[in-house]
Amino acid sequence: MADEPAVPRGGGREACVQALTAFGIDLSTDELDRLARFLELLLDANTRMNLTAVRDVDAAWMRHVFDALTLLPILQQADARRVADVGSGGGVPGLVLAVVWPQATHLLIETTGKKAAFLRGAADALSLRSVEVRSERAESLGRGPLRETIDVVTARAVARLPILLELCLPLVREHGHMVTIKGAQASAEVAESARALGTLRGAVTDSIRTPTGTVLVIEKVGKTPRRYPRGAGEPQKSPL
């Protein structure tokens, strides 16, 4: 497990930059300006729909931008060219990663129509031509042409790990990765996921503590059996 970087005092853009530097990530001024614009769009839209519980822009820099970018090193190490974000919601981590990793195509999966519309509008406003938004269930996509085609699948604040594995791993290509941000219960969720990992052909290869959570890295070590994912809603009703 990696050492935990020091948490900077205060909040806002500068605190986020300091935390990213300590984490080994350096962004350009243009990237930071585009991320600032994303937060403006997110918080403005949040006055009309429920996209985030964070309503203060200074807090959002750490809780959204920094938190999302703790996944960037995995995309870099994998040289990911196809990335999918399951349950994108307000665009964290999907849109944030698309800003700083434009060499990949980014598929944002969000079933709620209004949220999907926000994601499309934000991607257009940020000139993110590598982004595609799909207002479909992950279960359906995991049984269709996208099955086992994605280099890295990301997720944050979607479901407990046994459920999330069934939603995400069928999309991941063999020897690709699923990465998710978890909180204080990360170790407990891994422990309760032994059956799901074995069944779906995943293996936890790293657990990285950060100032905002724990990044779990899961490698797809074999092909997922064709019967998974199960139908819409079944992973939630009866987790593996």
Q: Side chain identity at 130, as an amino acid letter? A: S
Strands, E assignment, 70-146: 82-86, 105-109, 131-134
H/E run at residue 233: none
Q: For the chain, what is the largest distance between any 2 Cα atoms, rounded to a whole number of angstroms?
A: 49
In a domain, 35, yes or no: no
Rounded distance, CA 233 to CA 112, Å? 14
What total number of domains does the chain contain? Answer: 1
Q: In this predicted structure, what is the pLDDT of residue 8?
A: 47
pLDDT tens digit sequence for 147-181 = 999 999 999 989 999 999 999 999 999 999 999 99
pLDDT tens digit sequence for 184-233 = 999 999 999 999 999 999 999 999 999 999 999 999 999 999 999 999 99
Contact 96, 38 (CB under 8 A): yes
CATH of the domain at 125: 3.40.50.150
Is it the case that residue 5 has pLDDT exceeding 50? no
In a domain, 12, yes or no: no
Burial class (CB within 10 angstroms; exposed 0-12, middle 13-18, buried 19+) of 160: middle
In a domain, 193, yes or no: yes
Structure-block tokens of residue 107 = 């598929």
